[in-house]
A and B are shown apart, each in its own frame.
Chain A
Amino acid sequence: MLYAIHSLPFLWEGLLITLEVSALVIFFSLIAGVILGVGIVYGPRWLYWPIRIYSDFLRGIPLLVLIFFLYYALPFVSINLTNIAAVVLALSAFETAHIIEVVRGAIQSIPRGQNEAAKTIGLQFGQRLLYVIAPQAVRRFLPPWINAVVDTVKGSALVSLVGIVDLMLAIQQVIGRTYIPMPLYVLGAVMYFVINYSLSSASRALEARFAYIRE
C-alpha cells in the first residue's frame, strides 16, 4: 500500500497528460464540430453529403481502430506527427463527428414554429439565427456536449495503448513495478470518476435549469 502512495507523483504526471490531451481534443472538436454542424443544417446541398459521410464514417468505427490507424499509418504517407499530435488528431476527428450530431440535434429539435414566429415579426435570416434560434440551440446543446466531454476523457485512456504516458499508462507502469494491481486500478478509477462525475453532474444541473426551454 505504501508503494501506492509513493507512486502518487507519477500518477499525477499521468493525470496531467490525460487532462492536456482531453483539453486539446475538446477545444478542436468543439470548434470543428460546431462549424460543421451548423454547416450541415444551414449550408448548401453540396456541403451536406461530405459532412454527413464524415460523421457516419467516424461514428461507425471503434475509436481504438481510428487511433491505431492514424498512429501507425500516417508515417507511411510521410506525415510525421509527434505521438501526442497523432492521438489528439485521432480523438479530435472522432469527437468532432459526435459533436456534429449534437449540434444538428440541438438545432433541429427547435420547433418550426419558432422560426415562423420570428419571420412573422419581420426578422431577417441572420437576425432569426442570432436572437431566436441560437439562444435556444445553445441551451439544448450544452448537456449532451458535456456528455461528449466525458466520453473524450474516457476515450483518452486509449492513448495509453500507443505508448503515451497518460493516467492509464502511468497506472500500468506503477503496477508493473509494484505488482499490486487492484488498489492502483481502484485509485485510477476513483480519479477518473471524480473528474467525470463532476462533469456529468454539471450536465444534469444544466439540463434541469434549461428545462423551460423545452415546451
Chain B
Amino acid sequence: MSGSSSPLVVQVRGLRKSFGANRVLDGIDLDVHKGEVVVVIGPSGSGKTTLLRCINLLETYDEGSIQVDGVEVGFRDGPGGARQPRGDRELSRIRADIGMVFQLFNLFPHLTARENVMLGLRKVRGLSAAEAKRIAEHWLTRVGLADKLDSLPSQLSGGQQQRVGIARAVAMDPKVLLLDEITSALDPELVGEVLTAVQELAQDGMTMIVVTHEMTFARDVSTRIVFMDGGRIQVEGTPRAVLSTTNHERLKAFLARIELTLH
C-alpha cells in the first residue's frame, strides 16, 4: 500500500461552499496520494457528497482550491492573476481523468452495458470502435459481467448495474476514482459483489476517494479514514485508529449509531 511518499493526486485546500445560506463545506484540507483509498464517513448533511462532487466540478465551489494532478479543477488563471471559472470544454477534459460512480448508477438506459462503457472511450478518448470494444469487454469481464455485455440496464439487477457503472468509470483510466455511496441503493445481498469489485481495484493500485456507510469495507480496504461533520474534517487517521477512537465524542456517537442500525 502507498502512503505519503507517493505523488500527490488530489490536493484540497481551504474548500468552502454554501448552498444559499447553508454553509455545507467549511474549510476542507485534504491530501490524497497515488494508490491511497481514502474513505469519508459522517452523518448526512456533513458535506461528504458535496466534497466529492466538487472534485470533479459537478458542483462549483466558492472558496479554496482543488487540484487534481497539479491542475486546479474549477478555475484557471485569468488576466491580472484573477481566477476565472473554467468553460465546459476545459472541464470536460479535466473530468475525463476523474472517474465517478454514482449511488443511483446513472447508466445510459438506451445503451447496452458494453456501449455504456464504450461511449467515453470512443467520443472522449477518441479510440477506434475495435479498441474501445476490447477495453470495454476487458473491464466488464473484470467486474464479472462477461455474459451481460449486450444487456440493457433495464435487464440488469442493481448490483450488476453498479458494476457496469464501475467499469464505465475505470475504463477511462482515471487518475482518481470517486465513489459516492455506491452501495446505499442496493439490496443487502447485492452489496457484496460490488464491494468485491472495488476491493480488487484497490488492490491493483487505483487511487480512490470513497463516501460510504459500509464500515467493514472502510476497515478492511481503506488506507485512511476521514470523519466529516458540519462541513469540516473532524478526525482523520488510519482505519484502526479512527474506528476505535476513545476521545472524540461526536465520532463515537456516530459510530455507535451506525453499529446499531447495522446489527
Contacts and interface: CB of A to CB of B under 8 A. Distances in A.
Asked whether any CB of A lies within 8 Å of a CB of B in the complex, the reply is yes
Interface of A: 111, 113-114, 116-125, 127, 131-132, 135-136, 139, 212-213, 215
Contacts of B231: none
Nearest to B115: A131
B92 interface: yes
A117 B95 contact: no
B172 interface: yes
B47 interface: no
Q: Binding site of A, secondary structure by majority: helix, strand, loop or mixed? A: helix
Given A131-B123, A136-B109, A121 B168 contact: yes
Nearest to A117: B106
25 contacts: A111-B106, A114-B108, A116-B58, A117-B100, A117-B102, A117-B107, A117-B168, A119-B91, A120-B56, A120-B58, A120-B169, A121-B172, A122-B93, A122-B96, A122-B124, A122-B172, A123-B120, A124-B89, A127-B123, A131-B108, A132-B119, A212-B152, A212-B154, A213-B110, A215-B109
Contacts of A117: 100, 102, 106-108, 168
B104 interface: yes
A114 B119 CA distance: 13
A122 B154 contact: no
Contacts of A120: 56, 58, 95, 98-100, 169
Contacts of A132: 108, 119
B109 A213 contact: yes
B110 A136 contact: yes
B152 to A, nearest CB: 6
Nearest to A139: B110
B220 interface: no
A120 B176 CA distance: 12
A121 B119 contact: yes
A131 B118 CA distance: 12
A214 to B, nearest CB: 8
Interface string B209-222: 00000000000000
Nearest to A210: B110
A135 B100 CA distance: 22
A114 B123 CA distance: 16
B66 to A, nearest CB: 16
B109 A212 contact: yes
Interface in B152-183: 152-154, 168-169, 172
Contacts of B154: 212, 215
B52 to A, nearest CB: 11
B108 A119 contact: no
A212 B155 CA distance: 9
B120 A121 contact: yes
A57 to B, nearest CB: 33
B88 interface: yes
A26 B47 CA distance: 50
B113 to A, nearest CB: 13
Interface in B27-71: 56, 58
B104 A119 contact: no
B92 A119 contact: yes
Nearest to A127: B123
Given A132-B108, A213-B110, A121 B56 contact: no
A207 B152 CA distance: 17
Contacts of B109: 136, 212-213, 215
B104 A121 contact: no
A212 B104 CA distance: 16
Contact of A135 (B98, B110, B152): B110
Closest 10 CB pairs of A and B: A122-B96, A121-B120, A117-B106, A113-B106, A212-B154, A122-B124, A120-B100, A124-B92, A135-B110, A122-B95
Interface string B103-130: 0101111100000000110011000000
A188 B120 CA distance: 54
B69 to A, nearest CB: 14
A122 B110 contact: no
Contact of B123 (A123, A125, A135, A212): A123
A113 B104 contact: yes
